[in-house]
Structure 1
Amino acid sequence: MPKIDDESRGPAIGLAVCVLATPDAAAITRQCGYDFLVVDMEHGRITVDAMASICVAGLMGGFPVYVRVTGPTSPDVARVLDCGATGVIVPHVDTLADAETIVKKTRFAPVGERALPGAVALFGFRPVEVATMVAHSERTTRVIAMIESRSGLEAAPAIAALEGVDALMIGSNDLASALGRMGEIDHPDVAAGFRAVAAAARGAGKMFATMGLPEALIGSHARDLGADMIVATNEINLIADTGTEVLKRVRGLTAVPASDAA
C-alpha cells in the first residue's frame, strides 16, 4: 500500500507511463522522488511484455508499480498481478456487480476465485508453498476500483464496502464528462461527485485516490478530501510541459540581441 509513513508529507504521489514503457521507468520515477508508478494499459500501446518488465524492475527495487487495465472484463485483471504488479487499477467500475467481478478475479479463495499461478514475479520466480504465496499476495495486493460514471457514483458506497476492494479512484475527466460537464472538473457538480466518492471510501475504511486532476484542483478535490493517492501526471504530459519550458529558456539564452541583429 503506497501510504507514506510520515503523515506530514500528505498523500502518496505517483506518475503514470502511457507510451515510454521500459524498465527504466521505475528507476527514473523513484529517483525523481515519486512514491509509486502506474503503468497505463487502458490507453496507448503498452504491451503485457513491457508491463511485466517494469513490474519486475519495481519489485527488484522495492518500488510499487500499479497497472491500469481496460476494465472489469479485461483478461489481464489477474494477469498483471501474476506479472508482479503491486496492484491493479480497474476503470469503468459502474456497479457493484462490476466490483464483484474484479474481486472474483483478483482475490484467492475464499474471498475470490483467482487461479493459482506457478512461479510468480512476486517471489522472484522461485517456487513457494501455495499457502505462503496466497497469504503474502492477499496481504500485499491492492485492488483499486475507478469511479467514472453516474452509476458508479450511486454504487460507490456499496463498491467501497465490498471485501477485496482496497480503494476508490476517480478518473477526473471521465467523471466530469459523465456528469455533463466535459472539461469542467472545477464545476460544483463534479466537485460534489468527488466529495461523494471520498466519503464512500472513508465510510468503508478504504483508500481514496485521484487521477487526472489539474494542479489547481489538487487542494480542493484531493488533499482537502483526505486523498491517500494522487496520480500527478503521465510521462507524455511531463515531457511536453517541461520540454516546452526548457526550450523557452534556452531560446531566451541563445537569442541574438536586437542591436547585434541590426
Structure 2
Amino acid sequence: MNGPENKQTFQPAFGLACCLLGRAESVLLARAAGFGFLVIDMEHGPLGLDALGQAAAAGLAVGLPVFGRVTGPDSPDVARVLDCGAAGVIVPHVDTPRQAAAVARACRFAPIGARALPGPLPALGYRVLPAADLAREAEVGTQVIAMIESAAGLENAAEIAAVPGIDMLMIGSNDLADGLGLRGQLGHPEVAQAFARIAQAAQAAGKGFGVMGLPPALVPELAVALGAGHVVATNDTNLLAEGGAALLRTLEASLADAR
C-alpha cells in the first residue's frame, strides 16, 4: 500500500480499451491523447486476433503497450494473444485458483507453465533465436492478468493472486458489483470493501493491481488510493457516445445563447 507521502504523487497508467476501433491507427490516437496503454477487447464486440495483431505491432513500433482481453479462462486465444505481440493478456472471469493456474500454464514457458514454443515473435522483433533464448526473452515484461469479477473470485482472490505466473489482479468493476448483488452501485460500501480486499490480496502476493470500468469520480478512492498501477479509464464506445453527446449539448447551448 502506498504511504500517505506517496498518495499525492502516485499516478497509475491510464489505459483505453478498444471494443470497436481495432485498427493500428487507434494506437497512435491513444498515444496522442496521452494514454499509457491500450486494450484490445475481444470479449465485448467484434474484434479478434487480427485486430489484436495489428494493434500490437503498432504498439511495439511506437512504444505503447497493447494488451489483449480474451473471452475467459477457457479461451483458445489466451496464449495466442502473446504470440501476436501483445504486452500481456487480460483474462476475465477468473473465479478459482484452478482457473488461474490453467491460465498461467498456458501463458508461461516451462518450468512455470507449458506454453508451446512459437516461431519468431513480433515482441522480439521477429529475431530468429535458439528456443531457450526465445523463451527467456519472451517472458521479460509479459503480463498475465486475472480479472476478478464475481463473488467467487472475491472469495478466492488471495489464492488466485498466489498462483505462480499470474502477474496482476484486475477488477472488472461493473461485473463485480453485479456479482455481489449490487448492480450499478459502484459507490456502495460493500463494493468499496471488495475492492480493498482484492487490492490487499494482490499486494500481499507481490502482484500488481488494476481496475477497469470505474467512473472517473471513483478512481481516486477505489483505484489510486488502493495502489492500482493500471486503470482502464474508458473504452472507445463510451468515449465516442459520451463525448459526442457532450459536444452536442455544448453546441446546442451555444446556439441557444446566440439567439
The amino acid of 2:26's aligned partner reads A
Distance in 2 (CA, whole Å) between partners of 1:148 and 1:239 is: 25
User: What does residue 198 of structure 1 align with?
Assistant: 199
User: What does residue 179 of structure 2 align with?
Assistant: 178
1:90 Cα offset (Å): 0.2
Distance in 1 (CA, whole Å) between partners of 2:168 and 2:46 is: 26
User: What does residue 133 of structure 2 align with?
Assistant: 132
1:254 Cα offset (Å): 4.1
Distance in 2 (CA, whole Å) between partners of 1:186 and 1:170 is: 15
User: What does residue 3 of structure 2 align with?
Assistant: none
Distance in 1 (CA, whole Å) between partners of 2:145 and 2:255 is: 48
> Residue by residue, what CA displacement relative to the aligned partner does 1:79-131 show, whole Å, maximum 9, x if unpaired?
01000000000000000000000001000000000000012211222322212
User: What does residue 52 of structure 1 align with?
Assistant: 53
1:9 Cα offset (Å): 4.9
Distance in 2 (CA, whole Å) between partners of 1:123 and 1:142 is: 15
Which structure has the greater CA radius of gyration?
A: 1
Q: Does 1:245 find its partner at 2:249?
A: no
Distance in 1 (CA, whole Å) between partners of 2:258 and 2:64 is: 48
- State how 1:68-217 maps to structure 2 within 5 Å: 68-217=69-218
Distance in 2 (CA, whole Å) between partners of 1:176 and 1:135 is: 39
The amino acid of 2:213's aligned partner reads G
Partner SS, residue 39 of structure 1: strand
- State how 1:210-229 maps to structure 2 within 5 Å: 210-229=211-230
> Residue by residue, what CA displacement relative to the aligned partner does 1:156-194 show, whole Å, maximum 9, x if unpaired?
111111111100000001000110101111111111110
1:257 Cα offset (Å): 4.5
CA contact (8 A) 2:101 2:164 kept: no
TM-score w.r.t. structure 2 length?
0.94
The amino acid of 1:197's aligned partner reads I
- State how 1:25-44 maps to structure 2 within 5 Å: 25-44=26-45
1:30 Cα offset (Å): 0.8
1:252 Cα offset (Å): 3.5
Distance in 2 (CA, whole Å) between partners of 1:255 and 1:12 is: 39
Structure 1: unaligned runs, 5 residues or longer = 1-6
Partner SS, residue 209 of structure 2: strand
**Identity percentage over the alignment?**
50
Structure 2: unaligned runs, 5 residues or longer = 1-7
TM-score w.r.t. structure 1 length?
0.93
RMSD, aligned CA: 1.4
